């Protein structure tokens, strides 16, 4: 039996169920049923049955999905890494170690976890995504990842040299900053007690310095013992820039705690490097007291270039930010009020009827503790009498002297004015915020360098280096995906809104519109980087098999949504 469609001149074709038979040596056919009124899908199902196909109650019974794995975010990150040439930068030849190192870098962007948890996410039985299959490392275990870290660390110098060659050149702006992160465990030689920027007093920590280009793209990272002070890092970075990266003429930008007067004399000047940093508060007070910094300069402008014999051969760019001045005044008043409340507790203890505090030494100790706790003791005058009386008052003269310098900061540099005008000096110093953004990504937002569980010194260095390479990939992804993110994708328009380099940054009109509507101009939803990765993860790779006996399974990719398709287009990769 078979189905035949017979054309009708002025009507739809007739759909007939027929069979063939022989009569007198000739092949004849007869009609068994007229199927013209049947729905097309029913006719097609009968045709398949007549050809030996299998009848199924519904489409759900036609295939079975053996496994569904999140794939889109893997394709985006891994595709970007390869487009950047980072895979070949690790090693030109494919190898198991290279694949494992790439897997750890990509996994750090996708879902930063311990190496044991990362190995489980790659495994065939417990995989959280398609990364293990894409790189052929489904059978990797934690020990293999540790060995791959050792393999990667041996190549760090060469990798950083190539990254610097891509992003830096003689005359470049190099941003440098230092941070610390607390440590889990007590066995690592690098773990020391030091000044904690995380506010984790009493915990061991490590210190690491990050070098970025002027746009904030990372090129190198170095780990130090946890008790290393900021100035102790500068010499190592200068040596790296000059000897390993072969840069003889760069401008190093660092904050006032990193590039100090001593580092300038002992490290930067002998090396012949340019630098941009800022003066400490006591140095600004000295300039104002000596008459080199006239506060009347800021009556009609917020930026002025001054000179001082204390800084021969240097340029000083004085700036005043009214918003910063208001914030410092607010914070100082809060600290003063909080200190007054503590001092009043001491005074109340001396006046109480039962067991009053009368010992002058004890009164002095408690008052000193209150004054030191918020570091505004210089703004108070206190008196402890021999009979146990205690009095305190604000020193309005000192407060007024400090308030006069609120919002004023002074940037110092040795770069000539014909190479870098005063406004660009300010912009260059403010670009340190890009390194601070990198540290936020490193430590809390995206890559989560902590907690650090490794014990061996080399593994700790490799762990931080992995995080830097992951941020290198993320930095480029954020730049490409900016139209879909809350990030400002029109920095030129944003800069054009600033009356001067000292004025606070403002988002561009396009960024404000995105933030207000939560939609792009094309109507797509706006995301943070994390939530966009989560959206891309819903693009799955499905292992599908027909129900027919012996039918092979195949991987079928879900259809991208318009948002996902646009993300891949911006990244220039295919899912």
| Domain range enclosing 12 | 2-55
Mean pLDDT of the 49-54 span:
75
Cα–Cα distances in Å, from 206 out to 15, 178, 187, 198, 452?
80, 11, 13, 11, 9
First vs last C-alpha separation in the chain:
45
pLDDT band for 125, please (50, 70, 90 cuts): confident
This prediction has a pTM of 0.84
Measured CA to CA, the distance from residue 251 to residue 413 in angstroms comes to 9
In a domain, 292, yes or no: no
pLDDT at 59 over 60: no
The alpha carbon of residue 519 and the mean position of all alpha carbons in its chain are separated, in whole angstroms, by 23
| 151-176 confidence digits (pLDDT tens) | 999 999 999 999 999 999 988 999 99
If asked whether residues 573 and 464 sit together in one domain, one would say: yes
pLDDT of residue 549: 67
If asked whether residues 32 and 85 sit together in one domain, one would say: no
| 207-245 confidence digits (pLDDT tens) | 999 999 999 999 999 999 989 988 889 999 999 999 999
pLDDT at 387 over 70: yes
If asked whether residues 575 and 462 sit together in one domain, one would say: yes
If asked whether residues 146 and 104 sit together in one domain, one would say: yes
Cα–Cα distances in Å, from 63 out to 48, 50, 541, 573?
16, 21, 15, 30
| 401-435 confidence digits (pLDDT tens) | 999 999 999 999 999 999 999 999 999 999 998 88
pLDDT at 7 over 90: no
Mean pLDDT of the 107-124 span:
91
Mean pLDDT of the 319-330 span:
91
If asked whether residues 79 and 128 sit together in one domain, one would say: yes
More confident residue, 118 or 36: 118
Q: What is the CATH number of the domain that holds 250?
A: 3.30.420
Least confident range from 13-27, 86-100, 407-421: namely 13-27
Least confident range from 31-40, 52-61, 182-191: namely 52-61
pLDDT of residue 60: 61
If asked whether residues 268 and 342 sit together in one domain, one would say: no
Question: What's the mean per-residue pLDDT of the chain?
Answer: 90
If asked whether residues 219 and 138 sit together in one domain, one would say: no
In a domain, 499, yes or no: no
Q: Domain count for the chain, please give it.
A: 4
pLDDT at 451 over 80: no
Whole-number percent of the chain with pLDDT over 90: 60
If asked whether residues 370 and 426 sit together in one domain, one would say: no
In a domain, 503, yes or no: no
In a domain, 61, yes or no: no
CA-nearest of 159, 232, 160 to 192 is 232
């Amino acid at each position: 039996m078979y189905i035949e469609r017979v054309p009708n001149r002025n009507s739809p074709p007739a759909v007939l169920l027929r069979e063939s038979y022989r009569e007198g040596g000739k092949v004849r056919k007869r009609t068994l049923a007229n199927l013209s009124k049947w729905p097309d899908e029913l006719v097609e199902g009968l045709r398949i049955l007549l050809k030996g196909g299998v009848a199924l109650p519904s489409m759900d019974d036609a295939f079975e999905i053996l496994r569904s794995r999140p794939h889109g975010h893997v394709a985006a990150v891994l595709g970007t890494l390869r487009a950047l040439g980072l895979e070949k930068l690790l090693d030109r030849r494919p190898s198991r170690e290279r694949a494992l190192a790439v897997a750890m870098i990509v996994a750090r962007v996708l879902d930063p976890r311990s190496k044991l948890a990362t190995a489980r996410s790659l495994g065939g039985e417990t995989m959280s995504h398609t990364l293990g299959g894409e790189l052929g490392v489904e059978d990797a275990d934690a020990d293999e990842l540790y060995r791959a870290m050792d393999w990667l660390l041996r190549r760090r110098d060469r990798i950083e040299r190539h990254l610097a060659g891509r992003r830096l050149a003689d005359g470049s702006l190099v941003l440098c900053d230092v941070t610390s992160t607390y440590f889990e465990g007590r066995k690592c030689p690098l773990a020391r007690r030091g000044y904690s920027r995380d506010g984790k007093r009493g915990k061991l920590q490590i210190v690491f310095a990050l070098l970025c280009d002027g746009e904030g793209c990372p090129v190198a990272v170095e780990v130090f013992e946890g008790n290393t002070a900021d100035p102790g890092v500068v010499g190592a970075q200068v040596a790296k820039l000059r000897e390993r990266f072969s840069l003889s003429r760069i401008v190093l930008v660092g904050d006032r705690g990193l590039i100090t007067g001593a580092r300038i004399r002992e490290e930067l000047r002998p090396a012949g490097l340019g630098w941009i940093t800022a003066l400490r508060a006591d140095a600004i007070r000295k300039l104002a007291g000596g008459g080199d910094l006239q506060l009347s300069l800021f009556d009609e402008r917020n930026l002025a270039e001054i000179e001082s014999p204390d800084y021969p051969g240097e340029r000083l760019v004085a700036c005043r930010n009214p918003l910063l001045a208001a914030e410092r005044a607010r914070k100082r008043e809060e600290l003063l009020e909080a200190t007054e409340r503590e001092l009043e507790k001491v005074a109340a203890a001396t006046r109480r009827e039962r067991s009053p505090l009368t010992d002058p030494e004890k009164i002095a100790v408690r008052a000193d503790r209150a004054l030191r706790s918020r570091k505004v003791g210089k703004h108070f005058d206190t008196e402890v009498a021999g009979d146990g009386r205690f009095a305190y008052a604000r020193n309005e003269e000192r407060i007024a002297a400090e308030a006069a310098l609120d919002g004023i900061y002074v940037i110092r540099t040795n770069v000539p004015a014909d190479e870098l005008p005063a406004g660009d000096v300010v912009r260059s110093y403010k670009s340190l915020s890009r390194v601070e953004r990198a540290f936020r990504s490193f430590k809390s937002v995206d890559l989560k360098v902590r907690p650090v569980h490794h014990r061996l010194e080399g593994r700790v260095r490799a762990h931080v280096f992995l995080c830097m390479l992951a941020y290198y990939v993320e930095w480029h992804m954020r730049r490409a995906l900016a139209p879909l993110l809350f990030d400002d994708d029109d920095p030129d328009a944003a800069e054009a809104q600033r009356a001067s380099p000292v004025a606070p940054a403002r988002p561009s009109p396009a960024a404000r519109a995105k933030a207000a509507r939560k939609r792009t101009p094309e109507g797509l939803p706006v995301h943070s980087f994390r939530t966009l990765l989560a959206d891309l993860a819903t693009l799955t790779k499905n292992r599908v098999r027909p129900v027919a006996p012996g039918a092979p399974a195949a991987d079928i990719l879900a259809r991208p949504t318009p948002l996902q398709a646009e993300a891949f287009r911006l990244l220039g990769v295919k899912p």
